[in-house]
Amino acid sequence: MKSVFVTGAAGFIGSNLVDRLLADGVTVTGWDNLSTGQERFLQGALQHPAFRLVRGDNLDLPALTAAMRGTEFVFHLAANADIKDGWAHPKKDLEQNTLATANVLEAMRANGVRRIAFSSTGSVYGEAALIPTPETAPFPVQTSLYAASKVAGEALLSAYAEGGQLDEAYVFRFVSILGERYTHGHVYDFYRQLLAHPDRLRILGDGQQRKSYLYVQDCVDAMLRVTRAQTAYGAPHRTQVYNLGTAEYVRVADSVTLICDALGLKPTLEFTGGDRGWIGDNPFIFLDTAKIQAAGWKPRLTIAQGIGRTLQWLEANRWVYSARDAGPAASA
């Protein structure tokens, strides 16, 4: 892996991956429309001679194809990750996740790029009957537009691989990721509330939802371990699917306690009620990670440690709140 193309390069996971690849001597082309990503996350990468950032949208196939020219591996991380408000903009998941993935695959085909890693989600399992949930679990009825769009993306990858258009396809089904440059999720939302009113915290659902989380550097470690080992090469259908998560989970209420204790706060907790926070919220997400661990990977940080690292970063980088509110112009 000498020359890599990263979609969503200015995002949370993408920018951390870019830094790791550059440190390992890889030439990287970053691609991002900066709708949610922050150019500031690439401050170090932009000073590196082996990095190039191209601002563009995955829906612009000619521009995407031109930008990808000369690379040999694609990490496709760009996506709309707004599960909670999916029904406020139904086309967004279709366009930014499914159609965008189709364009990435067509740009690869035009350039003769035959290796790809795709960021999917543990949400594709819906409300799984089997816990912890292995990669071989049957897919239930989908419960969110986001998950449905990711299932479609996975299907496109496997179809291109089966059709002889790809030599290696890697699908990573993430739990929620935590860590430095985190700008979306429960720690981000809770900390924002507590900055505004330290005396109270509104929590969607009853707080008994059980979730698993993974530290971002552990996530990057896992992706690089199997893609560098080329585990999909010669695999059935030229495709490998991996769950990425920790071998533990926490209740939302327990996560709230960790956050409040770390900040030295004792707010009044206001629960909205019900066993889920929104339409499509899965009350229990816990993935079986035996397959990725058999490849020699294991997470370094616990969920509690990941939450702590995330809070420390948010406290030192409160600018992300105003930047996200201001939109793309703030990241230029």
Q: What is the pLDDT of residue 213?
A: 97
Last residue of a domain, one of 244, 264, 292: 244
Residue 95 pLDDT more than 70?
A: yes
Q: What is the pLDDT of residue 1?
A: 84
- Model confidence over 294-330: pLDDT tens digits? 999 999 999 999 999 999 999 999 999 988 776 543 3
Distance of alpha carbon 11 from alpha carbon 40, whole angstroms: 10
Q: What is the pLDDT of residue 196?
A: 95
Claim to verify: residue 17 and residue 105 sit in the same structural domain: yes
Claim to verify: residue 109 and residue 205 sit in the same structural domain: no
Q: What is the 3-state secondary structure (H, E, C) of the chain?
A: CCEEEEECCCCHHHHHHHHHHHHCCCEEEEEECCCCCCHHHHCCHHHCCCEEEEECCCCCHHHHHHHHCCCCEEEECCCCCCCCCHHHCHHHHHHHHHHHHHHHHHHHHHHCCCEEEEEEEHHHHCCCCCCCECCCCCCCCCCCHHHHHHHHHHHHHHHHHHCCCCCEEEEEEECEEECCCCCCCHHHHHHHHHHHCCCEEEECCCCCCEECEEEHHHHHHHHHHHHHHCCCCCCHHHEEEEEECCCCCEEHHHHHHHHHHHHCCCCEEEECCCCCCCCCCCCECCECCHHHHHCCCCCCCCHHHHHHHHHHHHHHCCHHHHHHHHCHHHHC
Q: What is the pLDDT of residue 276?
A: 84
Distance of alpha carbon 17 from alpha carbon 200, whole angstroms: 36
Claim to verify: residue 26 and residue 127 sit in the same structural domain: yes
- Model confidence over 174-210: pLDDT tens digits? 999 999 999 988 999 999 999 999 999 999 999 999 9
The answer to whether position 191 is within a domain reads yes
The answer to whether position 68 is within a domain reads yes
Q: Which residues contact 28 (CB under 8 A, 6 or more apart)?
A: 3, 4, 5, 6, 9, 18, 21, 22, 45, 50, 51, 52
The answer to whether position 276 is within a domain reads yes
Q: What is the pLDDT of residue 332?
A: 29
The answer to whether position 291 is within a domain reads no
- Model confidence over 42-69: pLDDT tens digits? 999 999 999 999 999 999 999 999 999 9
Q: Which residues contact 102 (CB under 8 A, 6 or more apart)?
A: 156
Claim to verify: residue 138 and residue 228 sit in the same structural domain: yes
Q: pLDDT band for position 331 (50/70/90)? A: very low
Please count the structural domains in the chain.
Answer: 2
CATH number of the domain encompassing residue 315: 3.90.25.10
Claim to verify: residue 278 and residue 240 sit in the same structural domain: no
Active site residue 321: no
The answer to whether position 289 is within a domain reads no
Gyration radius of the chain's alpha carbons: 19
Instruction: Record the pTM.
Output: 0.94
Least Cα distance to 67 among 46, 48, 53, 78 occurs for: 53
Distance of alpha carbon 196 from alpha carbon 321, whole angstroms: 12
The parent domain of residue 234 ranges over 3-176+215-244
Q: Quick one: average pLDDT of 97-115? A: 98
C-alpha dihedral sign at 223, 227, 229, 232: positive
Claim to verify: residue 46 and residue 79 sit in the same structural domain: yes
Q: What is the pLDDT of residue 50?
A: 98
Claim to verify: residue 172 and residue 278 sit in the same structural domain: no
Q: Quick one: average pLDDT of 7-24? A: 98
Distance of alpha carbon 148 from alpha carbon 154, whole angstroms: 10
Q: Which of 146, 188, 213, 242 is catalytic?
A: 146
Distance of alpha carbon 19 from alpha carbon 184, whole angstroms: 20
The answer to whether position 294 is within a domain reads no
Q: What is the pLDDT of residue 326?
A: 65
Q: What is the pLDDT of residue 109?
A: 98
- Model confidence over 24-36: pLDDT tens digits? 999 999 999 999 9
Q: What is the pLDDT of residue 272?
A: 94
Claim to verify: residue 156 and residue 264 sit in the same structural domain: no
Claim to verify: residue 23 and residue 37 sit in the same structural domain: yes
CATH number of the domain encompassing residue 27: 3.40.50.720
Q: Quick one: average pLDDT of 104-116? A: 98
Claim to verify: residue 237 and residue 307 sit in the same structural domain: no
Q: Quick one: average pLDDT of 60-81? A: 96
Distance of alpha carbon 149 from alpha carbon 278, whole angstroms: 18
The answer to whether position 101 is within a domain reads yes
Claim to verify: residue 315 and residue 227 sit in the same structural domain: no
Claim to verify: residue 17 and residue 130 sit in the same structural domain: yes
The answer to whether position 181 is within a domain reads no
- Model confidence over 216-274: pLDDT tens digits? 999 999 999 999 999 999 899 999 999 999 999 999 999 999 999 999 999 999 999 99
